[in-house]
A and B are shown apart, each in its own frame.
Chain A
């Protein structure tokens, strides 16, 4: 008997790996020192642990540990990188570039900067979710301070060509920020090679604890930022606030495990994802959202036409998944990411995101396939749109009363 509900929402968050949790616990109890305490062993112990973790984080992405700044998570990292650079380099210009499918932590930060008088270009991705290089290049202007493009999209899992985008930015003298929250442990990141100036990380998407993240701030060439959090001058003045050694140790250990195990783990996860994809694509009118090649191995975002996403999620309560349907969020709008791909509102409302992870089993995937197949059938029998489709009615020609 499989334990239910089955967790297939690893892009929302991951469980802390037991090895990580074990490493964290002593830093809550006996090793409780403040790493900023320079006068005794409690502080020294904590500082050593923090620096070891910094090294582990740096190693996963081939950076210098001195380039890693601790934050509370990727949202804070994105805020610090984008606002910090925009403010520091405001003498250069007032223009920023990003993509419509970025995470809200980037989009909303950009919106805030617009209210401060900055100008932002939001690029529309191609229908496969990827940024067109020519359109990106054309968007960069002499007064562009920074461009921000995520490595891996949280909804559809597509991987942007950060290497090529970075080259364009560097050639044009534009700072390049990358939100890599969804990429660590899934995509190889080599910051010694990539022309990336700022990169955001999160621990809890990679089997570390929530509430901790990091920002990579390149040293050569040096990138300057205006601090967003003021206080005791921690983290070279870029981010004040007492460090949380237990969280930091957790992130370090999680990233160490990711570095050592990602190659074999991703192969296993890809096999499971492809098995899920194969099973679900047998369903009529199932459409994958986002490019299937340039994609992380653990993501499958799929729309089941003529079935509304939330009602499907209700029907498959044995599975913990998420939907681009409006109804799973507070707003009534369907996923802005899927709409930016040019997906119809109907398909956006009908999307389900399955994300597989370290603890997913083949048995669970097979259970998920059978369950989804059965429930889609039941909901379509109840759907007037399915009837119309079966009668050959082109739904786009119907005059609907918008409400």
Chain B
């Protein structure tokens, strides 16, 4: 399989790899996927007092497209409010990275990771939200 230059770029130079400190304030975590399916994404967001995501980090077990998708969303969610972050759709991720049809599930997983992280934040801060189950 050949990869788009954008996938290769994110794969070679992944943005925001890492983990926030356990006690960091305003941190929420979304972990989606399953090892048996070949990909697991962990997305962490750090939300400031104004409800804006000021930083994000990821760790991903998966193929190059999965790593690139998670790297990309860490860039995209930064500076967004939680509700704005939820408007990021898998189709935008797939389009940006020029993912082939067989890799669309990687972008779906990245979208799910954002939803899971936001849901985690809201749950920790007393807001109940519908969480999206993994699919794709």
Q: Which residues of A are in contact with B by a Cβ distance under 8 Å?
A: 306-308, 310-311, 314, 325-328, 330, 332, 334, 344-346, 349, 381-387, 395, 400-403
Q: Are A403 and B62 in contact (CB under 8 A)?
A: no
Query: Contacts of A403 on B, CB cut-off 8 Å?
Result: 32-34, 37, 105, 108-109, 112, 134-136
The 5 closest A-B pairs by CB, nearest first: A400-B34, A403-B134, A345-B36, A310-B63, A384-B42
Q: Are A328 and B40 in contact (CB under 8 A)?
A: no
User: Nearest residue in B to A403 (C-beta to C-beta)?
Assistant: B134
Q: Are A385 and B35 in contact (CB under 8 A)?
A: yes
Assembled-state Cα–Cα distance A401/B59 (Å): 17
Query: Contacts of B59 on A, CB cut-off 8 Å?
Result: 382-384, 387
Which among A310, A400, A401 has the greatest number of chain B C-beta atoms within 10 A?
A401
CB B118 to nearest CB in A, in angstroms, measures: 16
CB B72 to nearest CB in A, in angstroms, measures: 14
B26 within 8 Å of A (CB atoms):
no
Name the interface residues of B104-121: CB closer than 8 Å to any CB of A: 105, 108-109, 112
User: Nearest residue in A to B37 (C-beta to C-beta)?
Assistant: A403
Q: Are B35 and A401 in contact (CB under 8 A)?
A: no
- Count contacts between A and B, CB distance < 8 Å: 94
Q: List 20 A-B contacts (CB under 8 A).
A: A308-B66, A314-B3, A327-B1, A332-B105, A344-B35, A345-B35, A382-B17, A383-B59, A384-B41, A384-B59, A384-B61, A385-B40, A385-B61, A386-B61, A387-B59, A401-B34, A402-B36, A402-B37, A403-B105, A403-B134
Q: Which of B17, B62, B108 contacts A308 (CB 8 A)?
A: B62
B60 within 8 Å of A (CB atoms):
yes
B39 within 8 Å of A (CB atoms):
yes
Query: Contacts of B79 on A, CB cut-off 8 Å?
Result: none
Assembled-state Cα–Cα distance A345/B36 (Å): 5
B: interface residue count bin: 35 or more
Which among B37, B60, B105, B109 has the greatest number of chain A C-beta atoms within 10 A?
B37
CB A164 to nearest CB in B, in angstroms, measures: 35
Interface of B is mostly: mixed
Query: Contacts of B64 on A, CB cut-off 8 Å?
Result: 310-311, 314
CB within 8 Å for A334 and B31 given contacts A327-B63, A403-B135: no
Assembled-state Cα–Cα distance A345/B61 (Å): 13
Which among B32, B35, B60, B136 has the greatest number of chain A C-beta atoms within 10 A?
B35
Q: Which of A326, A383, A401 contacts B38 (CB 8 A)?
A: A326
CB B70 to nearest CB in A, in angstroms, measures: 9
Which among B14, B19, B42, B105 has the greatest number of chain A C-beta atoms within 10 A?
B42
Query: Contacts of A401 on B, CB cut-off 8 Å?
Result: 32-34, 133-134
Assembled-state Cα–Cα distance A346/B59 (Å): 17
Query: Contacts of B32 on A, CB cut-off 8 Å?
Result: 401, 403
B28 within 8 Å of A (CB atoms):
no
Which among A332, A381, A383 has the greatest number of chain B C-beta atoms within 10 A?
A383
Query: Contacts of A326 on B, CB cut-off 8 Å?
Result: 38
Q: Are B134 and A387 in contact (CB under 8 A)?
A: no
Assembled-state Cα–Cα distance A332/B136 (Å): 11
Q: Which of B33, B102, B109, B112 contacts A400 (CB 8 A)?
A: B33
Q: Which of B36, B67, B102 contacts A382 (CB 8 A)?
A: B67
Name the interface residues of B38-54: CB closer than 8 Å to any CB of A: 38-42
Query: Contacts of A345 on B, CB cut-off 8 Å?
Result: 35-38
Which among A344, A383, A384 has the greatest number of chain B C-beta atoms within 10 A?
A384
Query: Contacts of B19 on A, CB cut-off 8 Å?
Result: 387
Query: Contacts of B136 on A, CB cut-off 8 Å?
Result: 403
User: Nearest residue in B to A345 (C-beta to C-beta)?
Assistant: B36
Name the interface residues of B1-36: CB closer than 8 Å to any CB of A: 1, 3, 11, 14, 17, 19, 31-36
Query: Contacts of B112 on A, CB cut-off 8 Å?
Result: 403
User: Nearest residue in A to B62 (C-beta to C-beta)?
Assistant: A308
